[in-house]
Structure 1
């Protein structure tokens, strides 16, 4: 069985779910060796199914059993380790890891579309799209940034974000 990280969108940032309930829910859905990381819905578990199957199962079951309608993103240890190894903004990561965020998407982002969006924005953020992830350095902080509004305006598909410190915890926990 493979170790996975489940990254549900907006848990405890608008959609409250105690971590004990999340662990219980995942165990009842057949996930093994379940543990949670922080109080934001990050969960680690073992499962023999692939990511797309897990995501679909968790979305359906969460709606039915928890009245929780949210998107789930699942990544393996190898995927998380590769994301962390990319480290596109090393100075920012070293200086302020909580201001560097990885946004997780289901499908690869269209490079031309991302280039167009970023070109239309004149803020201080550094941005890099690679595959299904968007790396963003928020030098002035995420809460003060206008970049998330640009992403919403650009009608990108649903995503969930984790800061660099959390990403490294997820890499370690999925070993």
Structure 2
């Protein structure tokens, strides 16, 4: 009768699930922290870039010149009294001004294309859109420090070194915004 309780205990222990070992629960590199966001860390990872570029420039040139030359002479011989006067003068005044203002605000996802020896990321990406026959291209290339990537894996374009931002459009709207052939010829000749 003593063997019956021992057999029951042995069967009960065999029916219990096997214990889990700690090294099976945690695998390094694949256990995300519960309090932080995932951020780009290797080639192929994506980063969201908020592009906000604003620039304005004004150039003004003003020039004026004035020149005056007077030449005067008198001749008095006998009964002849003659006088002469010559006055030459001229002036020029010119003014030119050019103003330019641009603003671009958009969001684009780019991928890490390389990791530099100092740990910086080379990122690049492009976004092509076709809306109502108007094709728009947004491209970005530059160098990112990993510590500049914020929460949500987002970085501002102002924090990208050596940034090359391309924004171009082709289509009906772009064509109609350009001057016509005659205006371009006059502008080339300095007449318009």
Shorter-chain TM-score range: under 0.3
Of Structure 1 and Structure 2, which has the larger fraction of its residues in strand? 2
| Structure richer in helix, relative to its length | 1
**Structure (1 or 2) with the larger CA radius of gyration:** 2
- TM-score between the two structures when normalised by the length of structure 1: 0.19
Q: Which has the higher contact order (CA 8 A, sep 6+)?
A: 1
